[in-house]
Structure 1
Amino acid sequence: MKVEQIYTGCLAEAAYYIESQGEVAIVDPLREVAPYIEKAKEKGVRIKYVLETHFHADFVSGHLDLAKKTGAKIVYGPTAQPNFEAHIATDGEILPLGNVKIKVLHTPGHTMESTTYLLIDEEGTEKAIFTGDTLFIGDVGRPDLAVKTDLTREDLAGHLFDSLRNKIMPLADDIIVYPGHGAGSACGKNMSAETTDTLGNQKRFNYALRADMTREEFIKEVTTGLVEPPQYFPKNAVMNKMGYESFDEVLSRGAVALDADTFENVVERNDALVLDTRRKEDFVKGFIPGSVWIGIEDKFAPWVGALITDLKQSIVFVADKGKEEEVITRLSRVGYDNTLGYLERGFETWKNANKEIDTLDEIGPHDFTNLYDTEKLNVLDVRKKSEYDSQHIKGAINFPLDFINKNMDKIDRKTPYYLHCQGGYRSVIAASILKARGFDQVTNVRGGINEIAKSCIKLTAFREPETML
């Protein structure tokens, strides 16, 4: 028996490869399925099952393509009603896999179809649970992401309490917990950076598994402090439930190199968004006017999902050479399938064609500090409210990037603004969006508050004067 966690950091998502005696089960695969197929081919084994723990909201799963290409059976837990052929397992059902068994444990709460898969080895010993978004390391799944349900989040939290107490906590302490996500995912509130643990440790240290916790206390704990989920979450959940276009077609359509004139024509004909994915240091020096920057080197896909409100938006992009397929792949992981091509040979092609170029004003942390000490600046802190509340520049306004589309009407196009985040990534995204919307007097503070703090600028742990949430 072999179990391998396949972790994708930019999504904080874990898929799993389980192999026994020539048969394989893949749990919660990503959209692009070639890596799973190649792994099985190298080992001379057959993918028998695609096990889905629930209808995912934060990414588009690869279940349909993987089943079509391998003949594997898609499996969901009880109550799931997918719009495609799948095996809807019963609670307690045993799925044979080589010399091992996988037991289906219906664990509703995160969503009503949420299911945990219990791995039983060749000797009949219960070895591991694949919990999806039911149980994380240090946390549990949030109860407000279910697709089209009449249940309140309090109702779902009550179901989750029952699932944990009746299905998960009675299991042996030495069982390994393999969750669907780690720290950085918006599917929970306070996940650990660790991506596996024993159930015994979780019973000791996970607040949601406290033995003396009442149902009412649990519901209050898991529903308190929930922020609005990213706007793409319900849309991805619908795609996972109803079906979607093959990734092969998405890649074929998007992997088209365009010269500068053709690129410009595609934008005009399709009202396409120009997405710049290069290093931020290169973007600020020169970019296509009106383009939005979201760098591929960080949490690219989640920020695309949070900020580009239409999954069907036509997109053309600028990328560093060799990164083109990666951009298309990572867009498709969160449901952005309408990529129409990329700028051939990158931004140099645009410059060599003598096309119009825009730049982003920047200021270093030391110069910003000197200016702050002598002038009254309009500072926008684009970090999350929780980060702002912890520590911020005195007088700065919290203008979270997550909600920039909602809050843009609260700032003035004629006012100069200085933007910062923690390290510089989010503030460049925010500045590019504001510039694309006609806010011309924006300046990015390089290095964010990490570098500003080193310059001894006055910081405060108290909100001053307002937030824009």
Structure 2
Amino acid sequence: MKIEQIYTGCLAQGAYYITSNGEAAIIDPLRETQPYIDRLKKDGVQLKYIFETHFHADFVSGHLDLSKRTGAPIIYGETATPEFDAIIANDNQIFEVGNIKIKVLHTPGHTLESSCFLLIDETGKETALFSGDTLFLGDVGRPDLAQKTASMTQEELAGLLYDSLYYKILPLPDDITVYPAHGAGSACGKNMMKETVDSLGNQKKMNYALNQPNKGAFIKAVTEGLLPPPAYFGMNVAMNKKGYHSFDNVLSQGLKPLTPEEFEATAENTAALILDTRDHQHFAKGFIPQSINIGLNGDFAPWVGAMVIDVKQPILLITDNGKEEEAITRLSRVGFDNILGYLADGLEAWINAGKETDNVHRITAEQFASEVQIGKSMIVDVRKESEYTAEHIEEAYSKPLAYINNWIKDLHPKEHFYLHCAGGYRSMIAASILQARGYRNFTEIEGGFNAIAATDVPKSDFVCPSKTTH
């Protein structure tokens, strides 16, 4: 028997590849399936089952394409209602894979169909728990994502989650290895550890949600402090439940090279979003007017989902040469399939064709320190509230990037402000959105708060409520 965690940092997502005696199972696969096909062939094993812990909200799973290519059936837990052929397993139903067994534990709460999969090894020992979004390391699945479709409040779903955890998971042996669906950085929880594997015994000791004195306390603890989920989550659930276009077709359509003239005409005729995926350092120096910068070298896919919102939005890509397929792949993972093509030879071709470019007014942290006037200058900090609370520039406003559509309307179009995040990635996303919407009255700070911290600009951990509205 072999268990492999296939972890994707951009999504903070763990898929699992399990083999035993010539057969394999895959749990929560990513959208692109060729790597799994290659791995199965290399190992000389047959895929017997595809297990889905639930209808995912934060990414589009590869279950449908993988099933079509291999013939392996898709398995969900009780109450799941997919709009395609699948096995809906009973609670405690067992599936054999080679010499091992996988037991389905129906654990509603995060969603109604959420299930965990308990692996029983060749000796009959309960060895591993693939806990999906029911149990994370340091946290549990948020109970507010399914409340509309479940016709239940988040408190009612949290109550179901309590029963699932305390009556089905906690009684399991301490030495079981927990393999969650997500780690730190995912929006599916609020307090996840950076580690991606742990023992159940350790989680019983240190996971706050597993140490509540009663059900009421648990419900309060897991529902406190939940941030609004990204808008694309509901659309990803629908795709996972109803079906989607083949990834191969999405890739084929997106890998269409366009000349500057074709690119410009397509942008004008389709109302496509021009998405520039280059590093923020390069974007700042020159870009196609109205384009939005979300760099591949960061949490690209989640930020696209948070900023663009509609997965059906037509998209035109600008990438570094050779990065086109990576960009399309990562977009498809969160359901953005309507990619019309990319600018062949990148921004250089655009410039060589004599087309117009724009740039962002960016200064160094040292320049900022020499000209800012604390108490007089307006400073906009687009980091998360938790980062701002830990330490920030005195008198700076907390305006998290995730809520830019809410606070952008409060900006005075003629009042100058400074803009920063932690290192420049998020502030350049904000800068590109601001300029696309006609705001040019700001200066973005290169290196963000990390660079500012090395200057003598006054910092504080005092939080003024009037500075944190968004």
Instruction: Give me the whole-angstrom Cα distance separating, in 2, the residues matched to 1:47 and 1:270.
Output: 41
| Residue in structure 1 matched with residue 184 of structure 2 by the alignment | 183
Report which stretch shifted further, 357-366 or 138-147: 138-147
Query: Per-residue displacement from partner, 1:101-134 (whole Å, max 9, x unpaired)?
Result: 0000001111110000000011101100000000
Stretches of structure 2 lacking an aligned partner (at least 5 in a row): none
Say whether 1:467 aligns with 2:468.
yes
Amino acid at match of 1:213: P
| Residue in structure 2 matched with residue 318 of structure 1 by the alignment | 318
Instruction: Give me the whole-angstrom Cα distance separating, in 2, the residues matched to 1:397 and 1:140.
Output: 31
Instruction: Give me the whole-angstrom Cα distance separating, in 2, the residues matched to 1:425 and 1:159.
Output: 39
Instruction: Give me the whole-angstrom Cα distance separating, in 2, the residues matched to 1:347 and 1:375.
Output: 40
Say whether 1:274 aligns with 2:267.
no
Say whether 1:161 aligns with 2:141.
no
Residue 374 of structure 1: CA displacement? 7.7
CA RMSD of aligned residues (A): 1.1
Amino acid at match of 1:239: M
2:302 aligned counterpart, secondary structure: helix
Query: Per-residue displacement from partner, 1:352-401 (whole Å, max 9, x unpaired)?
Result: 00100101111111110111148832211011122222221111111110
Q: Do 1:435 and 1:442's aligned partners in 2 also have CA atoms closer than 8 Å?
A: no
Stretches of structure 1 lacking an aligned partner (at least 5 in a row): none
Residue 280 of structure 1: CA displacement? 1.1
Instruction: Give me the whole-angstrom Cα distance separating, in 1, the residues matched to 2:350 and 2:48.
Output: 48
Residue 272 of structure 1: CA displacement? 0.5
Instruction: Give me the whole-angstrom Cα distance separating, in 2, the residues matched to 1:405 and 1:261.
Output: 31
| Residue in structure 2 matched with residue 51 of structure 1 by the alignment | 51
1:148 aligned counterpart, secondary structure: helix
Say whether 1:361 aligns with 2:361.
yes
| Residue in structure 1 matched with residue 218 of structure 2 by the alignment | 218
Residue 456 of structure 1: CA displacement? 2.0
Q: Do 1:286 and 1:357's aligned partners in 2 also have CA atoms closer than 8 Å?
A: yes
| Residue in structure 2 matched with residue 378 of structure 1 by the alignment | 378
Report which stretch shifted further, 376-385 or 61-70: 376-385
| Residue in structure 2 matched with residue 205 of structure 1 by the alignment | 206
Q: Do 2:283 and 2:293's aligned partners in 1 also have CA atoms closer than 8 Å?
A: yes
Residue 447 of structure 1: CA displacement? 0.9
Instruction: Give me the whole-angstrom Cα distance separating, in 2, the residues matched to 1:424 and 1:242.
Output: 38
Instruction: Give me the whole-angstrom Cα distance separating, in 1, the residues matched to 2:189 and 2:366.
Output: 37
Under a length normalisation based on structure 1, what TM-score does the superposition of the two structures give? 0.98
Say whether 1:301 aligns with 2:295.
no
Instruction: Give me the whole-angstrom Cα distance separating, in 2, the residues matched to 1:90 and 1:48.
Output: 18
Amino acid at match of 1:379: I
Say whether 1:397 aligns with 2:409.
no
**What percent identity do the matched residue pairs reach?**
58
Instruction: Give me the whole-angstrom Cα distance separating, in 2, the residues matched to 1:407 and 1:141.
Output: 29
Amino acid at match of 1:63: H
Query: Per-residue displacement from partner, 1:321-378 (whole Å, max 9, x unpaired)?
Result: 1110000000110010000000101110001001001011111111101111488322
1:454 aligned counterpart, secondary structure: coil
| Residue in structure 2 matched with residue 25 of structure 1 by the alignment | 25
| Residue in structure 1 matched with residue 444 of structure 2 by the alignment | 444
Instruction: Give me the whole-angstrom Cα distance separating, in 2, the residues matched to 1:62 and 1:335.
Output: 11
Map 1:30-429 onto structure 2 (within 5 A): 30-146=30-146, 148-210=149-211, 213-373=213-373, 376-429=376-429
Amino acid at match of 1:69: R
Residues 374, 120 of structure 1: CA spacing in aligned structure 2 closer, same or farther, 3 A cutoff?
closer
2:150 aligned counterpart, secondary structure: coil
Instruction: Give me the whole-angstrom Cα distance separating, in 1, the residues matched to 2:150 and 2:374.
Output: 55
Residue 462 of structure 1: CA displacement? 1.8
Under a length normalisation based on structure 2, what TM-score does the superposition of the two structures give? 0.98
Instruction: Give me the whole-angstrom Cα distance separating, in 1, the residues matched to 2:263 and 2:150.
Output: 43
